Chain A
Amino acid sequence: MTASASEPEDVARSCSASGPKDSTRTAPDPVPDTGRRADAPYDLVVVGAGSAGLAGAVAASELGLSVALLDSSAQSGGQFYRHPAPALGARRPEALHHDWSAFADLRRRLHASGVDHLTGHHVWSVVKETDGTWTAHALTGADGCADAPARIRARALLLATGAYERQLPFPGWTLPGVVGAGGAQAMLKSGLVLPGRSIVVAGSGPLLLAVASSLASAGARVPAVVEAAGYLRYGRRPRALATNPRKAAEALVHAAALVRHRVPVRLRSAVTEVHGTDRVEAVTVSRLDREWRPVRGTGRRIACDALAVGHGLVPQIELAVAVGCTTRALPDGTLGLALDDLQESSVPGLWAAGETGGVGGAELARTEGELAGRVIAARLLGRPARVGATAGLRRRRDRMRAFADVMSAAHAPGPGWTGWLSDDTDVCRCEEVPAGRIREAIAACGARDARTVKLLTRAGMGWCQGRMCGTAVACLASAGSAPEPPGERRPFAVPVPLSTLAALDGSPDPASAPDSPTDPVPS
């Protein structure tokens, strides 16, 4: 299906800088009249328009709530269903996607609903006001640099902020041509471009198979997929596998594509060095032992001009952690939000769905979003949900969550990976802090956690706020014992210009007090 650039007035108040909205509404379906005055709070604000947020927003709206759906992107779909802008005229966007029809269905429901889809909104903080309502603060524009920050109020909040890629550093990983595996996939899905002609795909996790098959289908040569784990650990939980046949089917689709394109898969191996001066020219792939320690003498050089690398996904939960939501440790060492049986967090009035509760994929996200949307509607409308009405959704969620845990455990980084780090390898890309300085902070200064390392070395203090180096720093600081997951509270989920913060006091509506462009402050 194609997306047109036309924008129905009643579904979007996108900010001017966010570009054309992804919108295919044809017939004006009846919109439930929620009776909300223009200046009154919404019933529900949903942050994130991926699978979970879309499902939650439309489910709640269909049951009669007034809903604002906030997302940084100009188009719905999140990362999984990221797709080309309408002007690129893609007639078969589904060629780069698994289960595209599920997204097309959600998008149809969105366009038929009364949901206000606010594109180009980068939420940097959520606040519970004294009257119990929520305020979401957002920067606007394609990259958050537009002049008018926004403040959106609601009675309930659903966080569906997804995940970002987990990175483990290795010598040469800052060289141009080394890109995130998810990054290569995102640039391909939205911009229809590749980082090179010959791309090695490496790291760990099922995403690697999807990325390699997309890159190969789009014309790249993929000399190897390099997976640090084995796939045998999936076999330890046969029940979770047997009850989730769609996951196995998805993996088979990707595996078949790799066979078709003659892409070899190397298990229990890792890229331990990148070669090149100004850009990637080759990589060294080494065998790993069970602890992910590189086996000496097994290094083999593979020529390529790009490397797409990632080690699974990390739930994006900064907004929730900042307001005190309880977290839980996941089997792969990351933190997700602790949620009850009905998707509510430990903070009343704040629900979450999808990867925020632990990475489990688009179908699980959709199920949790739908469940959360229904539960929130029942709560706000004072009609307690009948147990039976959500039982099916909860059962499906539990079945898929069990699989997510298996997947997470299978690809948990082994403690030996730090063996491939040389002292001059930059661990923190933003602040250019090499492994040697971090090791020194640990050995000489006694740092035992990521926060202390940050204060001593600046690792994790830059623009990305530790998203790229957080795992690595925590692993180094724990010196081989189970690393403490980086659960640090940061007051801003994205860098915020000082002028935006200054405008918060004394101005009831920051939108009426335009910013001047200034440097955002990394916290």
Chain B
Amino acid sequence: MARTPIGLVGAQPDPPFEITFDGRPVPALPGQTLAAALWGAGILAWRTTRDGGRPRGAFCGIGQCYDCLATVNGEPNRRACLVPAHPGDTITTQEGHGHDRLGV
């Protein structure tokens, strides 16, 4: 059997649930953050920068760098590496400061 993080720590997680990323279903394990669920699905970017429109995702992994900001259930600027995933969460790629709909 291939070595995996789950196998290494002998994890027996509760059943996975579904969240969505830009409309696409992504499985998440209970106890994972949004960023962990996205990494688990091979997704590394969920934000574009304000000036260059460049893709970004989790970098420091501990809530210090704010690169992993995402729009979660319609609310922008949530740190995906800290926020736990909940069934039905919708994550959308945050463009710039995330407040375009406010016209600011």
- Binary interface encoding of chain B residues 21-43 relative to chain A, with 1 for a CB under 8 A from any of its CBs, else 0: 00000000111110111011000
A187 with B36: CB separation less than 8 A = yes
Whether B60 lies near A165 (C-beta < 8 A) is yes
Complex CA gap A182/B40 in Å reads 18
* Cβ A194 vs Cβ B39 within 8 A: yes
Q: Which residue of A lies closest to B81 (CB)?
A: A187
Give the contacting residue for A96; candidates B9, B36, B37, B54; CB below 8 A. B9
A468 touches B30 (CB 8 A): no
Q: Which residues of B contact A186 (CB under 8 A)?
A: 60-62, 81
Which of B8, B11, B75 is close to A89, meaning CB atoms less than 8 Å apart? B11
Kindly identify which residue among A95, A174, A195 contacts B54, using a CB–CB cutoff of 8 Å.
Answer: A174
Distance, CA A93 to CA B93, complexed state (A): 32
* C-alpha spacing A178/B84, complex, angstroms: 23
Out of A86, A180, A464, A517, name the residue touching B31 (CB < 8 Å): A86
Q: Determine which of A72, A85, A192 lies in contact with B9 in the assembled complex, contact meaning CB atoms within 8 Å.
A: A192
Once the chains bind, are B5 and A92 in contact (CB under 8 Å)? no
Chain A residues, Cβ within 8 Å of B52: 432
Among B10, B56, B59, residue most surrounded by chain A Cβ atoms (within 10 Å): B59
Among A180, A194, A432, point to the contact of B59 (Cβ < 8 A). A180
Nearest residue, chain B, Cβ from A188: B5
Judge whether A187 and B61 touch: CB under 8 Å: yes
Answer whether A79 and B62 are a contact pair too, CB < 8 Å, given A87-B30, A176-B57, A191-B35.
yes
Which of A87, A429, A495 interacts with B29 by CB under 8 Å? A87
Q: Identify the closest chain B residue to A88 (Cβ).
A: B31
B49 contact from A145, A432, A464, Cβ within 8 A: A432
Chain B proximity of A518: nearest CB distance (Å): 10
Interface presence of A499 (CB below 8 A): no
CA distance A174 to B59 in the complex (A): 9
- Residues on B with C-beta less than 8 A from A178 are 59
**A386 CB to nearest chain B CB (Å):** 39
Query: Given A91-B11, A187-B36, is A468 in contact with B65 using a C-beta cutoff of 8 Å?
Result: yes
Shortest distance in angstroms between A40's beta carbon and chain B's nearest beta carbon? 31
Contact B79 A182 (CB under 8 A): no
Chain A residues lying within 8 Å of B81, measured Cβ to Cβ, are 183, 186-187
CB distance from A86 to the nearest CB of B (A): 7
Contact with B along A424-451 (1 / 0, CB 8 A): 0000011010000000000000000000
Report A85 CB to chain B, min CB distance, Å: 3
How far apart are the CA atoms of A86 and B31 in the complex, in Å?
7
Q: Give A310's nearest chain B residue, CB to CB.
A: B60
- Taken together as a complex, chains A and B put the C-alpha atoms of A91 and B79 apart, in Å, by 28
A219 and B3 within 8 A (CB): yes
- Given A72-B63, A142-B82, A143-B82, the answer on whether A218 and B8 have CB atoms closer than 8 Å is yes
Residue in contact with A145 in the complex, picked from B33, B57, B78, CB distance below 8 Å: B78
Q: Within residues 87 to 104 of chain B, which ones have a CB less than 8 A from any CB in chain A?
A: 97, 99
> Do residues B5 and A174 form an inter-chain contact, with CB atoms below 8 A?
no
Answer whether residue A266 sits at the interface, using C-beta atoms and an 8 A cutoff.
no
Q: Does chain B have a CB within 8 A of A456?
A: no
Q: When the two chains form their complex, are residues B49 and A218 in contact, meaning their CB atoms are under 8 A apart?
A: no
- Are B4 and A218 in contact, with the CB atoms below 8 A? yes
Q: How far is the CB of B7 from chain A (nearest CB, A)?
A: 8
A181 to B57, CA, bound (A): 15
> Min CB distance, A418 to chain B, in Å?
21
Residue of A nearest to B46 (CB): A176
In the assembled complex, the Cα of A72 lies from the Cα of B45 at a distance in Å of: 24
* Docked pose: A177 CA to B54 CA in angstroms: 13
Q: Are A183 and B9 in contact (CB under 8 A)?
A: no
**Complex contact B13–A88 (CB within 8 A):** yes
B83 touches A142 (CB 8 A): yes
Closest chain A residue to B45 by CB distance? A176
B88 vs chain A, min Cβ distance (A): 16
> A93 to chain B: which residues have CB within 8 Å?
9
Q: In whole angstroms, how far apart are the Cα atoms of A190 and B64 in the complex?
A: 16
> Is the Cβ of B39 less than 8 Å from the Cβ of A195?
yes
Return the chain A residue nearest B7 by Cβ.
Answer: A219
Query: Which B residues are CB-close (under 8 A) to A89?
Result: 11-14
The CA of A432 and the CA of B75, in the complex, are separated in Å by 23
A interface residues, Cβ below 8 angstroms from B: 19, 72, 74, 79, 84-93, 95-96, 142-143, 145, 164-165, 174, 176-180, 182-188, 190-195, 217-219, 278-279, 429-430, 432, 462-464, 467-468, 495, 517, 519-520
A–B complex contacts, Cβ < 8 Å, 15 sampled: A79-B62, A91-B12, A143-B79, A145-B75, A174-B56, A184-B61, A191-B33, A191-B35, A192-B36, A217-B3, A218-B4, A278-B45, A278-B55, A432-B54, A519-B99
Q: What would 18 more interface pairs be, CB under 8 Å, given A176-B57, A182-B60?
A: A84-B31, A88-B29, A96-B8, A143-B79, A178-B59, A186-B81, A187-B35, A187-B36, A187-B58, A191-B37, A194-B5, A218-B4, A219-B2, A429-B67, A462-B66, A463-B65, A463-B66, A519-B99
